[in-house]
Amino acid sequence: MKAIFETPLIDIPRAHSNRPDPICDARDLWLGLDHAEQYLGFSLQDIAQIFRHDRWTAVYSFAMLGSHLRATKSAPADVTNALLDSLRGLLREATK
């Protein structure tokens, strides 16, 4: 029987050995990723570019977004806006 996904939907490189991913709750990371893609206008390709550009900051920012969402059911506007500014800045840098 074949696996549903034989290859990943997007190709994201692994963390570098000299800069491992920040410690975070995986649920928070996935919630932040899902929310960014579903509600905040990021495509999967945008997210992949952000990860390729600066994986550590991407993991931290998406996990922080998910953490705030999980804690409050909707992240405070100032927290969301700050994280969005950071992520959009990374996306601009990555596409230069």
pTM of structure:
0.77
d(CA 32, CA 75): 10
pLDDT in tens, the chain (96 residues): 444 445 555 566 676 777 777 788 888 999 999 999 998 899 989 998 998 898 888 999 999 999 888 887 666 678 788 888 999 999 999 988
